[in-house]
Amino acid sequence: MLEQELRELFEQRTAAAQPPVRASIAQAAKDGMAVRRRRRRAVAIVMPMFAAGAVAAIALAVVSAPGQVSPRPPRPPRPGAAAKPRPAPLVPWRFSPLQAYAAFGWLPAGASFTLGSTTPGLITLEADSTTPNATGSQAAGYSWRWSGYSRGACQLRSRLLVCGGQSVMRITARAQQVDGRPAYWGYGPDLPGEPILTNADGTGPRLLAYQFAGGWATLSAPSASVFTVARTIRLVAPAKIRYPVQLVGVPASWQVADSDYFPGPAGPETSDFSVRVAATAQLEVNAAPGAGEYCEGQAADVAGHRVLLSQTPGPAHLGMYTLCARGDDGTDVRLEETGRFAPGVVPLFRSHLRLLGLDPAGWTTQPLN
């Protein structure tokens, strides 16, 4: 009797219409966020796509028309077997100075990203937190400065972290690991590229150095947030930087050497970059309102524009030559040449410089053409 009742119940259940499979978007998003933190975003994007594909395959098998052979479902994994996670993204061997590569993942309340920079061997991020004083006329706060070095650029030598052949931090003690990787306390320069010993007591700003995405990174930050900020800085898909000026008809050997950038409505923007012209010559370009505020020199007329020209003598041929001008839309232009090169700042301004206005929508991602 019991067997007959069970058989009837089973037939009723199998004959009934099956409810649709429901996926929890909120739970999937929560899981994806956790994966992003652990795997630097790579797995979080790819794995949901694989999951969606598997659900779609099962659904197609269920609704196949009568008389058609449904595709064989994929064989389930062996008990105890797990899919191998995709490796986290690595920093490249060389960065393009035309792109931004990293971003803060978490900052304390009141702090925000303000400035970044990209060179072939180094990327930097800076965030600031300002607190108005009692009068509201000035502000003071904290800064978070992060530097990430290209893959293979850094080595530990005795108690020094050396990147690109230059000492960037003097190690004083071990720190707790960052994402399971070694980390150290030490001190370094005020800014990348400066000597380590900068203060009267023979030390520089306190830094945390840690392995990051196949390379190394350093972070200067308030103690309360240093580890949280370090763990959440992430690589992002390289984003092209937009420039308000273009140099046209210049030699193909000229290359952008570095770009400072700031956040804009449509992505990273800059008004300040440098061009490597030759082994002993470099051009600094700054095109923004106020860029020529502190310019001095002899007044001249170039292509109908009133400009200021100045020269700072230097050893051998490494003097500095500066041209400042104001564009028709109020944009100041400052060209600063170190070393002598053809055509020079005056012919460059006259024949090769194109100002693209104040609206970033009309700017270019290729400042050299």
Categorize the per-residue pLDDT at 77 as very low, low, confident or very high, splitting at 50, 70 and 90.
low
Per the listing, tokens 């008004």 go with 271
| Rounded CA separation 97/18 (Å) | 56
Q: Which are the contacts of 136, defined by CB distance < 8 A and separation ≥ 6? A: none
Tokens linked to 147: 């530097």
Q: Is the pLDDT of residue 41 over 50?
A: no
- What local confidence, expressed as pLDDT, does residue 279 receive? 86
Q: Is the pLDDT of residue 359 over 60?
A: yes
Q: In this prediction, what percent of the chain has a pLDDT beyond 70?
A: 70
What distance, in Å, lies between the first and last C-alpha atoms of the chain?
88
For residue 144, which of 182, 170, 106 has the smallest C-alpha distance? 106
Spell out the long-range contacts of 25-33 with Cβ–Cβ below 8 A and sequence spacing 24 or more: none
Find the range with the poorest average confidence among 175-189, 263-277, 309-323.
309-323
- The amino acid that residue 166 corresponds to is Q
Categorize the per-residue pLDDT at 162 as very low, low, confident or very high, splitting at 50, 70 and 90.
very high
Name the average pLDDT for the chain. 77
Spell out the long-range contacts of 135-141 with Cβ–Cβ below 8 A and sequence spacing 24 or more: 141/110
3-state secondary structure string across 145-192: EEEEECCCCEEEECCEEEECCEEEEEEEEEEEEECCEEEEEEECCCCC
Q: Quick check: 341 and 285 in contact, CB under 8 A?
A: no
Q: Quick check: 363 and 259 in contact, CB under 8 A?
A: no
Taking the complete model, does pTM exceed 0.85, yes or no? Answer: no
Most confident of 13-22, 26-35, 82-91, 249-258: 249-258
| Rounded CA separation 3/9 (Å) | 10
- What local confidence, expressed as pLDDT, does residue 285 receive? 96
Architecture of domain 241-362: 3-Layer(aba) Sandwich (3.40)
Q: What is the mean pLDDT of residues 222-231?
A: 93
163: buried, middle or exposed (CB in 10 Å: 19+, 13-18, 0-12)?
buried
| Helix axes of 42-62 and 25-39: crossing angle, nearest 10 degrees | 140
Span 109-160, pLDDT tens digits:
889 999 999 999 999 999 998 655 444 444 456 789 999 999 999 999 989 9
| Rounded CA separation 215/91 (Å) | 7
Find the range with the poorest average confidence among 34-48, 182-196, 200-214, 303-317.
34-48
| Rounded CA separation 211/181 (Å) | 6
| Rounded CA separation 340/315 (Å) | 12
